[in-house]
Structure 1
Amino acid sequence: MITASEPGWIGLFSGLSERQFRRPVGIVRHRGGGAPTGGREWALPPEDRILW
């Protein structure tokens, strides 16, 4: 499975370094992207959703 917890996948699929990838993940979390807003909860954490 492709996951952001494996640093090698981040660069391969996003073209970003691990450090650069943390910035958009932080923005998504800050804006509430990690919390469900109704309906079913996300099966993947924000890092993996962004990577996909």
Structure 2
Amino acid sequence: MTVSAELLVVSLVSHAIPIKDDMGNVIGRVDVGLNVDKANKLSEVAGCYQM
């Protein structure tokens, strides 16, 4: 899932991983969010040098 910068002030990509018990029931989850502003800026700069 990608969240726009307008919503959270920064752009980020997030992933959620379910935690399941032995019966396969979801009992929790782990969420990871990564700020992608630096990657976006690098892409912009690299785009300036394309031929």
TM-score by length of 2: 0.33
The structure whose residues are more often helix, as a share, is: 1
Indicate the structure whose relative CO is greater, using CA pairs within 8 Å and at least 6 residues apart.
1
The structure whose residues are more often strand, as a share, is: 2
TM-score by length of 1: 0.32
